[in-house]
Structure 1
């Protein structure tokens, strides 16, 4: 049985793909040495040695326009099938590939090890989607993590934390991460990622997008860090018409399409933020190392406990930690009534990266703050969560 189907006249690429499969993947490869794609997917399926494959690879020399057309048709009729295309990862092409429902883009020159990683990821995506379409499967099983980043007070580096989480997760699951800026009036995700988005949250909550996830995907902005972004409206006035119900629907849709949805929120607990929190699987609480931040966090947590809207999985982050401020981690913990999970020291490298619009985790920067940020990102890695589920909260030391 061939789990993988390849269409390409490139014999060298075929050999590398077969090496990738032979290097540890189950199943075989069926190759069609041609540049022609059928008008109807059923024509392809009729030629296979099984009813439907798991992964279809459109290799080098297949015309890209035809490949995008065929992938779009497959995405509508056979959404569980994972499609990989071999092409140079140009940002404009990545956007078109995402809109067509393509799972991954591989370089035509990828070696077997690189191809194996893509095939493993595509197979996992097929398994998730296939289970989701099975009648006996609960619909929640296919949803990704929704990670909300919150703080009752502004000025604690919440957006910096959110953008670095997204970039870090983009390395774990390339093109399976989207960051959403729900600070609708004064959001900084666009500047934090050095983006000039054509579309924003306003477009993403329109009736057309809320009814069709393909339309919604067209409103996302591709970022070079292998993630997507949905930025805040350009002016505060544009945010006035967006409702909590629309935000709930938006996060529901995105969680069905992406492995990770990172949500940056406005300071405090506005209605939009509470609506987002109800959809979050994980909440990251960010506090600075100052008394107003700590007291604000305690008040916010107390209110949310009373409202019973706190997700089970929370992560308390002490940002810009500095032992010279007169406060200790133990002071913060005793005040908020919860342990600090990750401490990120004050860092000039982080401040510089924020001003440049390039998150510090996007580049190989050696800095104590990057270690803390990487520890935070690791908490959302399925392998780490499974291994550490009984030790989710550990004491940190500044």
Structure 2
């Protein structure tokens, strides 16, 4: 049953609002008559009597710009509470409100059916969002709080491959989910395949915001605002996904990616980056920021040779971090190649071999990472070993053999 908390300085609007939902919307409405909004979500919610409200409506009389700043903090600290902003007929203000973290906007002059329609939609979405949030996340700032100071222990793990179709996104999403168990709400995955990224599909997410929002506007100068554009996944991780329109990818430059990763590494212990196949400007920007790189290849001659060429070129550009991991994905003995063949071609050791399994393909098609869907699967065990290699209690292995392997023989 939904509880709605209405903040407004206009008693007349309160009367119209209550008439519109009375007897037609399950739950109750509580009104706080104030002209100024509290500074924090907890201060605002403390004005509510009884159980936690499902929806908070900022009505007429509230400063919309103050409301938007507060909405950004709400989205981080109290993601289980959905916000609605009552606005005049101003499309630009409505768009700004949605980008700031409001779940919906309500026309100030809406008739009773219009008010009821918006409230019903937001209440339904709020209940679904509550069910999707991790256990223990409701009702406390705790795991959603913003660190007081930038981190100095952050690791930027770039997952890359010269060719598509090798399961790079599968590796990246499972790695992020596994790290989410090690560092709950301190792990974020970024989809840098800016035109055709699949992280949202692989995690079965429907993001309200995208990479475009994160590298433009107020998020560029404010890490707190940036965090409001991230999407929470039930595995206790955040995700920053690509825009639905591939054309928007042309608007994102390498310098913006560099700045974005710098912001995220100041806030999260683990930043997992899923790049597009090849070595485009976004991938190169990510590699410059990387503390660790996971190179992924399939068990086929073109893929292995492509990775060898990529390693050679990155060595010439001095873009290979000291911490390098090589993963052979969807390994199958029937391909005619062995791990020893791959190591001989790469002139570098293979760290993890993830076997091809039916369950891995099934989990991918379901949009559920294998580590969640079938943790006892053979492939999942290898993925867990990959995750464990990044655990904070594991010493960072600086493997000079990779550096030597980049020298042409």
* Range of TM-score over shorter length: 0.5 to 0.7
Equivalent of 2:308 in 298, 320, 337: 298
1:368 aligns with 2:378: yes
Equivalent residue, structure 2, for 1:377: 387
Describe how 1:36-75 pairs up with structure 2 within 5 A.
Answer: none
Query: Does the 8 Å contact 1:91/1:224 carry over to 2?
Result: no
Deviations 1:23-45 (A, max 9, x none): xxxxxxxxxxxxxxxx789xx9x
Cα distance change on mapping 1:233 and 1:294 into 2, 3 Å: same
Q: Distance in 2 between matches of 1:332 and 1:160?
A: 21
Unaligned runs of 5+ in 2: 1-37, 44-49, 55-65, 82-125, 403-409
Describe how 1:1-398 pairs up with structure 2 within 5 A.
Answer: 92=129, 105=136, 132=149, 142-385=152-395, 389=397
Question: What is the CA-CA distance between 1:207 and the residue it aligns to?
Answer: 2.7
SS of alignment partner, residue 350 of structure 2: coil
Equivalent residue, structure 1, for 2:89: none
Q: Distance in 1 between matches of 2:211 and 2:324?
A: 25
SS of alignment partner, residue 254 of structure 1: helix
Q: Distance in 2 between matches of 1:160 and 1:266?
A: 13
Q: Distance in 1 between matches of 2:252 and 2:323?
A: 27
Whichever of the two has the greater Rg, that structure is: 2
Q: Distance in 2 between matches of 1:193 and 1:235?
A: 19
Cα distance change on mapping 1:246 and 1:319 into 2, 3 Å: same
Question: What is the CA-CA distance between 1:92 and the residue it aligns to?
Answer: 3.5
Deviations 1:256-295 (A, max 9, x none): 1111111110000001110011111110000000000000
Query: Does the 8 Å contact 2:323/2:399 carry over to 1?
Result: no
Q: Distance in 2 between matches of 1:144 and 1:184?
A: 23
TM normalised by structure 2 equals 0.65
Deviations 1:165-212 (A, max 9, x none): 111111111111111110011111111111111111011101311101
Q: Distance in 2 between matches of 1:384 and 1:342?
A: 16
SS of alignment partner, residue 314 of structure 2: helix
Moved runs in structure 1, 4+ residues, more than 4 A? 61-65, 83-87, 104-108, 390-394
Q: Distance in 2 between matches of 1:372 and 1:364?
A: 12
Cα distance change on mapping 1:142 and 1:331 into 2, 3 Å: same
Query: Does the 8 Å contact 2:229/2:240 carry over to 1?
Result: yes
Question: What is the CA-CA distance between 1:384 and the residue it aligns to?
Answer: 2.0
Q: Distance in 1 between matches of 2:79 and 2:166?
A: 41
SS of alignment partner, residue 205 of structure 2: coil
Q: Distance in 2 between matches of 1:248 and 1:254?
A: 10
Unaligned runs of 5+ in 1: 1-38, 45-60, 77-82, 99-103, 109-114, 133-138
Deviations 1:49-98 (A, max 9, x none): xxxxxxxxxxxx78579xxx9xx99x99xxxxxx99999x9774599x99
Q: Distance in 2 between matches of 1:284 and 1:362?
A: 21
SS of alignment partner, residue 240 of structure 1: helix
Cα distance change on mapping 1:302 and 1:204 into 2, 3 Å: same
Cα distance change on mapping 1:85 and 1:217 into 2, 3 Å: closer
RMSD over equivalenced CA pairs, Å: 3.7
